[in-house]
Amino acid sequence: MTTARPLALDPDVIRVGNCSGFYGDRHSAVRDMLDGGDLDVLTGDYLAELTMLILARDRAKNPAGGYAKTFLSQMRHTLASAYAKNVQIVVNAGGMNPAGLAAELRTLADELGVPTTVAHVEGDDLTGRAPELGWGRPLAANAYLGAWGVVECLRAGADIVVTGRITDASLAVAPAAAHFGWARDDFDAIAGAMVAGHVIECSTQATGGNFSAFTEITDLSRPGFPIAEIRRDGSSVITKHPGTGGAVTVDTVTAQLLYEIQTARYAGPDATARFDSITVDSQGPDRVEITNVRGEAPPPQLKVSLNELGGFRNEVQFLLVGRNIAEKAALTRRQLESWLKVQPTELEWHLVRSDQPDADTEQLASASLTCVVRDAAPETVGRAFSGTAVEMALASYPGFFLADPPRDASPYGVFTAGYIDADQVQHEAVLDDGRRIPIPPSPTTRVLDDVPEPEIPDLQTPSRTHMIELGSVVLGRSGDKGPDANIGLWVRSDAQWAWMVNTLTPNRIRELLPETADLPIERVLLPNLRAVNFVVKGLLGRGVAYGARFDPQAKGLAEWLLARRLSIPASIND
């Protein structure tokens, strides 16, 4: 039996850092975090819904692939340092092949002469069972596992733990649970660690990256990566290494808390965290404390990420300059649609009027017209489509030119969510010596239900108002959840909160964001954070890999909303 090295010297606090928020994040982050200051555990999130599709296609081409190759190259330069500093590493970089990545890491450790033990977690990959479970034949079907497989690996002494699709927050829950010896039903503590994990999982978004009030941060040249100091009771302090860029403030932490959430119940396989209970307070420069997180039992089912090949797509972008933009766009549509010998199953047009009257440059006098096509047959939307657009060059609107040369068809994916009873998933920890430890589901579960909306404060009729941008008062962040988009908004005073919750209703959002006019919008109030979250259903179609929307992941949706002008009481912005 391997003798486990201690995860942290402090029995009451474990310092968990993050080095990755997506597959493609800063390559130097592992070294930066190891060299920048004290750490107990380093986590990395490499997976997203789109990433699973990419890795599934990689594995289909090469059965030995299917994992995040960048993590292996990062380890080549940092494995010895991590071992010498007793920093355990927990990452989901295994993607569709955690066993394959674990084997490569052992080979690398032998090559470097570092006595590193590597364990991995299996059970999330349900692709082979998809037909019997009624999901058809997707390229990838992965259940979101929880922390307890990683916990067993760490308790057995693993220096590196590689997983496939576990929830992002579980990467931080696992080392805390292993270090403090939490039981499966310590739901308050687990939920607190889930919240800390949610804050740090997207790397520098917690330290000023993608922050709507970014002009308030002195140094954003190279934000540092976040650290969660998780305590025995599940409360935490979010911080970063000294001397690194960016900032950790109540607002940067709140921004990440609201990122890609849905209801006041943040459900995972380990617990359900009540986001309406969270308290966030400043504890000094670059130190923000998160306390009072209430936890509940997790739901009885696990979410499953289903990625399938939806077909093939192509697009061509026409540039329209000067006068008669609408007429030029109409002519282009008529010509292209009539010239195509085979009509694609789907054909979309998007006209963006960025042209200005009496413009000083040609680019400012231009608009763009994009045609997006999709079909099951690649030949229908391949060169036959883009070549037809080129053939129009001398026979169409005056000043005809394209933004890009003609391209061939490319495959696109479709994401859907499935669900499976937790006891139907064979979750296992696989230790360095090959032993397997079965991980049972949570013995206690709770079906999710709605949280009653809190009381809305009264709002007095203001004596003076003025028309200003919403972002003069409100901060925001938005993101994607499959076909849906979320917009998290928050303010800094009670008066602003009273105004916001009385003013920003789903119908008002539809007025301010006309693209959402015909879509269902759900609103969740979080008074402790002076925040409101909107979930716009169906804005992103069938997911990021499918969509042709200008902003397919809704990353800029909040920024658009904050730039809209409306009547705001002068008193709350004085």
Position 341 in a domain:
yes
Q: What H or E segment, with its residue span, contains residue 343?
A: none
Q: What is the SS3 assignment for 3?
A: coil
- CB-based burial label for 568 (10 Å; 0-12, 13-18, 19+): buried
Residue 17 domain-assigned (yes or no): yes
What six digits make up the tokens of 416? Answer: 């859907």
Tell me: do 186 and 243 sit in the same domain: yes
Domain that holds residue 508: 465-573
Please provide residue 199's backbone torsions phi and psi, each rounded to the nearest 5 degrees: -70, -40
> pTM for this one?
0.94
Reported as type and span, the H/E element at residue 244 is none
**554: left (phi > 0), else alpha (psi -120 to 50), else beta?**
left
541: phi then psi, degrees, rounded to nearest 5: 65, -120
Q: Within this chain, do residues 289 and 369 fall inside the same structural domain, yes or no?
A: no
Residues 297, 321 within the same domain: no
Q: Write out the DSSP string of 363-424.
A: GGGEEEEEEEEEESSTTTSSHHHHHHHHHTTTTSSTT-EESS-----EEEEEEEEEEEEGGG
Identify whether residues 371 and 424 lie together within a single domain: no
Task: Identify whether 5 is part of a domain.
Answer: no
Residues 139 and 274 in one domain: yes
- Report the alpha-carbon distance of residue 437 to residue 151 in Å, rounded: 11
Same domain, 383 and 278: no
| Largest separation between any pair of C-alpha atoms in the chain | 78
CA distances from residue 400 to 40, 316, 328, 383, 397 in whole angstroms, order as listed = 60, 13, 9, 19, 6
pLDDT value at residue 515: 94
Question: Could you say which residues of the chain have pLDDT below 50?
Answer: 1-3
Locate tokens 């555990």: which residue?
A: 41
Q: Which two tokens stand for residue 452?
A: 């009653």
Q: Quick check: is 453 in a domain?
A: no
Please give the Cα distance from 123 to 31 (Å, whole number): 30
Query: Burial of 510 by CB count in 10 Å (0-12 exposed, 13-18 middle, 19+ buried)?
Result: middle
Q: Give the H/E segment covering residue 506.
A: helix 506-512
* For helices 29-36 and 69-84, angle between their N-to-C axes, nearest 10 degrees: 20
Quote the CA–CA distance of 159 and 82 in Å, as a whole number: 9
Residue 198 lies in a domain: yes
Domain identity same for 195 and 321: no
Indicate whether 403 and 270 sit together in one domain.
no
263/149 same-domain check: yes
Q: How many structural domains are present in the chain?
A: 3
Separation of alpha carbons 137 and 139, rounded Å: 7
Shared-domain flag, residues 151 and 36 = yes
Q: Are residues 430 and 514 in the same domain?
A: no
Cα 51 to Cα 56: distance, rounded to the nearest angstrom: 8
**Roughly how many angstroms between the first and final C-alpha of the chain, as a whole number?**
65
- The per-residue pLDDT for 1 is 37
Q: What is the per-residue pLDDT for 544?
A: 66
The pLDDT value recorded for residue 2 is 43
Residue 41 domain flag: yes
Distance CA 526, CA 293 (A): 13
205 belongs to a structural domain = yes
Say yes or no: 215 and 282 in one domain.
Answer: yes
Task: Give the CATH number, domain containing residue 351.
Answer: 3.30.70.380
In this prediction, residue 3 carries a pLDDT of: 44
Is 521 part of any domain?
yes
Report pLDDT digits (tens) over 155-214.
Answer: 999 999 999 999 999 999 999 999 999 999 999 999 999 999 999 999 999 999 999 999
